[in-house]
Amino acid sequence: MSEIEQGGEVEPRLGELPAQQEMPFAIVQGAPLMALPQDLYIPPDALEVFLDSFEGPLDLLLYLIRRQNLDILEIPIADITDQYIEYVELMKELRLELAAEYLVMAAMLAEIKSRMLLPRPAEAEEEEDPRAELVRRLQEYERFKRAAVELDELPRLERDVFAVQAEVPPGHVRRLPPEVDLREVLLALRGVLARADLFTSHRVEREALSVRERMSLVLERVQAGGFVPFAHLFDLREGRAGVVVTFLALLELIKAASIELVQAEPFAPIHVRLRGGEA
């Protein structure tokens, strides 16, 4: 029971708001106000802050019940309903943004109130108390309201405790290379394509990548140095298509001035070598 009381106590996290037992209705300039003001002037903003601090109709109802130290199981529904409606009217007057849920609750309270007034048929002892559903909801809400307060009180990082972070001397952190998805590479290329106009020509669009690949292979072969017989660059097992690819690659490389063809004399074997390279 005291547990639940505390739930109410911590309630609005604004220091000057109602606490315990005889909860003041509000605190105005340091002085607690114990009852709804009739003719007293209250600074509207103080009242607004107070009324605005309710998390909804259930929260407001709980406040009304706890304020009077009532047992949640024995709510004097008529009184509470009247008080609730007074508050809701007040909120309306102050033009607070009033969630529709407040009005739904007002209607529900009025209905319970009228059902309570009806005489209970003698035999129907097992009929549920009209307040039962409301009581269940209030308790259910209150336990989580309380749980939220307790959660907030748990020692947490960045407020109550802090992570430590000692540095490691340089040279000792070896990082594994990340995994890369081909899609990421292609998306990066799309980004380049959007920026560069180099690729706009249709020739490049249609260019077979196999030629590019072969250019690299040929370059690598001739890089070893010296002359490579022209014929050795062709692998006849690849068939006609493969031969064409190699031939196109050679033409591209010659055009790019990467390699040159050398022939000692007419009809002698042709050799390929790296341009400008004794490398």
Partner 1 sequence: MTGAFGLKQIIEGALLAAGGPLTPDQLLGLFGEEERPDRDQVLETLASLEADYAERGIELVQVAGGYRVQVRREVAPWVGRLWEEKPVRYSRALLETLALIAYRQPITRGEIEDIRGVSVSTSIVKTLAEREWIRIVGHRDVPGRPALYATTRKFLDYFGLRSLNDLPTLAEIRDPELLGDELDLGEMDESPAQGDPSPPVVVPTPEAGRDG
Interacting residues with partner 1 between 179 and 208 (CB under 8 A): 179-180, 182-193, 195-196, 198-199, 204-206, 208
Task: Name which of 115 and 212 has its Cβ closer to partner 1.
Answer: 212
- Could you say which residues in the range 33-92 bind partner 1, by CB under 8 A? 55-59, 72-73
**Greatest alpha-carbon span in the chain:** 126
Which of 7, 8, 18, 24 is in the footprint of partner 1 by CB under 8 A? 7
- What is the closest distance, in whole angstroms, from the C-beta atom of residue 40 to partner 1 in the complex? 28
Cβ count near 199 (within 10 Å) = 11
- In 3D space, the residue among 194, 178, 197 whose CA is nearest the CA of residue 186 turns out to be 194
All residues at 6 or more sequence positions from 179 whose CB lies less than 8 Å from its CB, including other chains: none
- What is the closest distance, in whole angstroms, from the C-beta atom of residue 91 to partner 1 in the complex? 14
- Contacting range for partner 1; rule: CB under 8 A; set: 29-37, 43-51, 79-87, 153-161: 153-161
Q: Is 123 in the site for partner 1 (CB under 8 A)?
A: no
* Residues 137/104, Cβ–Cβ less than 8 Å: no
- What is the closest distance, in whole angstroms, from the C-beta atom of residue 186 to partner 1 in the complex? 5
- Could you say which residues in the range 237-256 bind partner 1, by CB under 8 A? 256
Q: Is 97 in the site for partner 1 (CB under 8 A)?
A: no
- In 3D space, the residue among 253, 216, 214 whose CA is nearest the CA of residue 234 turns out to be 214
Which of 31, 124, 209, 236 is in the footprint of partner 1 by CB under 8 A? 209
Which of 111, 152, 235, 238 is in the footprint of partner 1 by CB under 8 A? 152
Task: Name which of 93 and 153 has its Cβ closer to partner 1.
Answer: 153
Q: Is 271 in the site for partner 1 (CB under 8 A)?
A: no
For the record, the structure tokens of 263 come out as 């022939």
* Residues 17/11, Cβ–Cβ less than 8 Å: yes
Task: Name which of 132 and 251 has its Cβ closer to partner 1.
Answer: 132
- In 3D space, the residue among 236, 225, 233, 230 whose CA is nearest the CA of residue 269 turns out to be 230
- In 3D space, the residue among 16, 4, 166 whose CA is nearest the CA of residue 69 turns out to be 4
* Residues 238/273, Cβ–Cβ less than 8 Å: no
Q: Is 161 in the site for partner 1 (CB under 8 A)?
A: yes
